[in-house]
Amino acid sequence: MATTPPVIQTKITSDPVKLPLMPLLVAVALGVVVATVAVGGVVYYLLRSGKVPIRATAAPPAPVIVSTKTHLVVLEPLLANLADSSGSAYLRLGLTLQVADPVAEKVKESKEAEAKPAEKDADAGVRDTALTILGRETSEQLLAPEGKEKLKKELKAALVERNPEIKVTDLFITEFLVQR
C-alpha cells in the first residue's frame, strides 16, 4: 500500500529582493574616490622620483625682459592760470616724475655727463606740456573728488605722447594749491 505523500503547496512570490540603494551608491562613490586617489598618488610618485621620464616639448623661448632702472625727476613748482570764467583762479602744482632708463652694461662717466644737459632740455618740454594741460582745467574740475586722479592721468598721457624720449613710468603730485 502505497501511500502518496501529501502535496504541500508553497506560494511562490514574484517580489524581487530589495537592496538598500543609498548605501550601495555611497560605497560605489567611495570606491571611485579611493581608486582615483591611489592611481594619482602612484603617478605622482613615479613622476617625482624620475622612474617615468617625461619628454619635454620644445617650448618657445621666454621673451627677454630688459630690466629698467628708474630715477625721480623733481620739477620746480608750476604756477598756472586756470580756465575759470572769473579769470582769477590759479594752481600751484609740484610734480615729481618717475623716469625709466634702460640698464646698459657699460655706462661711462662721460655718457652720464652728456645726459645731464639733455635732461635740462627735456625739463622745458615737460613744463610746457604740463602748463598746457593745466591751462585747460577749471578749479571746479580740480577740486572734485576725482579731480587730482583725472589730472594725473591726463598729465601722464600727455607727457608720454608729447615727450616720448622721456619714458615717464609714474607721476607724483607733491604740491597742490588752488587759489580762486
Query: Which is nearest to 171 in space by CA: 143, 118, 134, 137?
Result: 134
Residue 105 has pLDDT above 60, yes or no: no
Q: Which three cell numbers stand for residue 48?
A: 617625482
* DSSP 3-state of 179: strand
Cβ atoms < 10 Å from Cβ of 106: 5
State the architecture of 68-179 in CATH terms: 2-Layer Sandwich (3.30)
Cα–Cα dist 50/55, whole Å: 12
Confidence of residue 164 (pLDDT cuts 50, 70, 90): confident
CA 42, distance to chain mean position in Å, is: 37
What is the biggest distance separating any 2 CA atoms in the chain, rounded to whole angstroms?
Answer: 142
Span 87-92, average pLDDT: 88
- Domain-wise residue ranges, the chain: 22-53, 68-179
- Radius of gyration from C-alpha coordinates of the chain: 40
For cell 574616490, the residue is 33
Query: Which is nearest to 140 in space by CA: 130, 132, 150?
Result: 150
CB 160 within 8 A of CB 170: no
Residue 146 has pLDDT above 50, yes or no: yes
Cα–Cα dist 107/101, whole Å: 12
Residue 141 has pLDDT above 60, yes or no: yes
Span 88-110, average pLDDT: 72
Higher pLDDT residue, 106 or 33?
A: 33
Residue 108 pLDDT? 41
Span 38-54, average pLDDT: 85
Cα–Cα dist 97/4, whole Å: 118
Task: Summarize pLDDT for 118-135 with one digit per residue, the tens.
Answer: 556 668 888 899 999 988
Q: Which amino acid is at 139?
A: S
Task: Summarize pLDDT for 49-65 with one digit per residue, the tens.
Answer: 877 777 766 667 777 76
Q: Which three cell numbers stand for residue 39?
A: 592611481
